[in-house]
Structure 1
Amino acid sequence: MHPITNNKPPLVCVVTGASRGIGRGIALALGAAGATVYVTGRSQREGDAPLPGTVFQTADDVSAAGGRGIAVVCDHARDEQVQALFERVRREQDGRLDILVNSAIALPDTLVDSGPFWDKPLAMTSLLDVGLRSAYVASWFAAELLIRSRGLIANISSAGGRCYMHGPAYGAGKAGIDKMSFDMAHDFRPRGVSVVSLWPGLVRTERTLDVCAKEPGKYGNALDHAESPQFAGRVVLALHADPDCLARRSGGVFYNAELAAEYGLRDTDGAAPPSHRRYFGDPPTYSATVVE
């Protein structure tokens, strides 16, 4: 991606959960397009989490990529901190917000352990708090800003909402994200804001690489075709730039790889990551019936 050069003001974006993982990758892709990106997370210093990454490092890397990275330490389980985040965006950006990416999620250490849900800690339900609920809260506080800019919400979900993946807490959270995106799109449509739910494939995040190092062969050869963390960010940029996004995409659930193919996008290494539809199934479709 190349920095914005068409005299339009830089995009103003918020990416939640961007200390590491796919949130960090999306923030870097937005930065490479010249955007101002508020990156949120709880990790302030290396060692705050088992995996590497901090909000400050991500913000610095967004700036190095060509954008303007702004680190905001924010616990998305704390509504007052989320409110303060969007009040800051309002003050500093004259009420503008073009893109909100809801990527923050609580990922318990036992997430990828095999076994029935009752053998896992009850704390697995944190996936429903920081993940499903936090996306709702961030969208609620961001709504007025997004309406002013006729912006885009991209909710990072997973095919785990369609198949068994990591147990019922994870599955319920992702299925909820997908339906929530559909319903938010209905409310936002008359006001020009698009909402989509995105399904990445296997992504080469710090967590994925750590799991593969500890359990070689866990994902077979899927890692050979995995997406970079930045890949989803390229898809988000294409959606925002698409003049037909509101009419054709809003309310939908999409595999990142399939949208990328439609928009003619490639990953950072020039590859075209495959869709996993044949393994995980079709994204959900919902009834057009509206009950007020």
Structure 2
Amino acid sequence: MASPLNSVIAVVTGASRGAGKGIAIALGAQGATVYVTGRSLKEGDAELPGTIGATAEAVTRAGGRGIAAACDHRDDSQVKELFGRIAKEQGRVDILVNNATFLHDELIEKGPFWKKSLQLVDILDVGLRSAYVASYYAAPLMAKHKNGLIAFTSSFGASCYMHGPAYGAQKVGVDKFAKDMAVDLRADNVAAVSIWMGMLRTDRTRRVMDSEPQKYAGFWEIAESPEFTGHVIGALYRDARRAEKSGQVLIGAELAAEYGLSDEGRTPPSHRPMLGGPTQAHPAIVE
């Protein structure tokens, strides 16, 4: 029996580690061919462990086909070359997951934004602008075949104060990308959504929790696995009515419940009651 995403071509940006790695592996477990992008070519290239090659191998072990694709998403020319390569090798892109995001070590420190490093604003370059550029080059490949899904990884920081204004602006920005790109892509049967993830079980999160175990007691137990969002995205892609969700900002835990998905046997909670929910686009279109 064929895997659910057999023959699907996916791109997951920023997938050396963390959410991107988990999403790539989950898509691979569903049978997809996954281009894994990032800058980490060998261990030691970043503070945290992980490389694009290791993720690609994990995708293949999971049941898909992982392809490591070195790409610095700060460089538009490299992004253009990436999608040119995919067009040559595959002829199309079915799923794009815009996940690459610059996260500064001072992000979670308390205090006003002007007392932190100015570099925190770089999340508007890799995280916001980079997502636009990747979508710019993926969209025509999807539109040509009248099929596709562009997913942005976002968070409740688009609604509540979380980690300061730069982080919040990036999350609000990708949510708006999904809303507006959906309008442009509607006639081509390409959906665009933004997915709010909960706290994730990543190496970065583990490092933070270990530094203040009392403060974060119990959080690890309710955190989502990095693969969880990938399974949600796979189910959304397969949904015959996915066009009805295009342009929406979706809470991953709620969408998983709709599709009957669990996370390693658990049911991750939606944090809507505590952190707020997304604002959907007004139906007006001004051209």
Asked if 1:271 corresponds to 2:266, the answer is yes
Task: Specify which of 123, 127, 134 is matched with residue 131 of structure 1.
Answer: 127
Which position in structure 1 is the counterpart of 2:285? 290
The 2-side partners of 1:32 and 1:87 are apart by: 26
Paired residue type of 2:2: I
Which position in structure 2 is the counterpart of 1:228? 225
The 2-side partners of 1:148 and 1:29 are apart by: 26
Task: Specify which of 136, 159, 166 is matched with residue 162 of structure 1.
Answer: 159
Per the normalisation by structure 1, the TM-score is 0.95
1:157 is paired with a residue whose SS is: strand
1:38 is paired with a residue whose SS is: strand
Question: Which string of whole-angstrom CA distances, capped at 9 and with x for unpartnered residues, describes residues 189-229 of structure 1?
Answer: 11110000000111101111111111213334222111000
Per the normalisation by structure 2, the TM-score is 0.97
How far the C-alpha of 1:102 sits from its partner, in A, is 0.3
Paired residue type of 1:160: G
The 2-side partners of 1:120 and 1:84 are apart by: 35
Asked if 1:41 corresponds to 2:9, the answer is no
Q: State the identity %.
A: 56
Q: Is the 8 A contact 1:100 1:153 kept in 2?
A: yes
Asked if 1:111 corresponds to 2:101, the answer is no
Q: Is the 8 A contact 1:4 1:33 kept in 2?
A: no
Runs of 4+ in 1 over 2 A off after TM superposition: 3-6, 217-220
2:97 is paired with a residue whose SS is: strand
Asked if 1:87 corresponds to 2:84, the answer is yes
Question: Which string of whole-angstrom CA distances, capped at 9 and with x for unpartnered residues, describes residues 158-179 of structure 1?
Answer: 1101000000000011011111
Which position in structure 1 is the counterpart of 2:2? 4
The 1-side partners of 2:161 and 2:188 are apart by: 36
Asked if 1:205 corresponds to 2:202, the answer is yes
Asked if 1:183 corresponds to 2:180, the answer is yes
Paired residue type of 2:118: L
Paired residue type of 2:58: D
How far the C-alpha of 1:9 sits from its partner, in A, is 5.2
Paired residue type of 1:15: V
How far the C-alpha of 1:252 sits from its partner, in A, is 0.4
The 1-side partners of 2:212 and 2:166 are apart by: 23
The 2-side partners of 1:13 and 1:249 are apart by: 19
Task: Specify which of 182, 190, 193 is matched with residue 193 of structure 1.
Answer: 190
Which position in structure 2 is the counterpart of 1:244? 241
User: Unaligned stretches of 5+ in structure 1?
Assistant: none
Paired residue type of 1:111: L
Which position in structure 1 is the counterpart of 2:252? 256
2:284 is paired with a residue whose SS is: coil
Asked if 1:13 corresponds to 2:21, the answer is no
Q: Residues 147, 16 of structure 1: CA spacing in aligned structure 2 closer, same or farther, 3 A cutoff?
A: same
2:36 is paired with a residue whose SS is: strand
How far the C-alpha of 1:5 sits from its partner, in A, is 4.3
The 2-side partners of 1:109 and 1:225 are apart by: 23
How far the C-alpha of 1:144 sits from its partner, in A, is 1.1
The 1-side partners of 2:254 and 2:19 are apart by: 18
Q: Is the 8 A contact 2:57 2:66 kept in 1?
A: yes
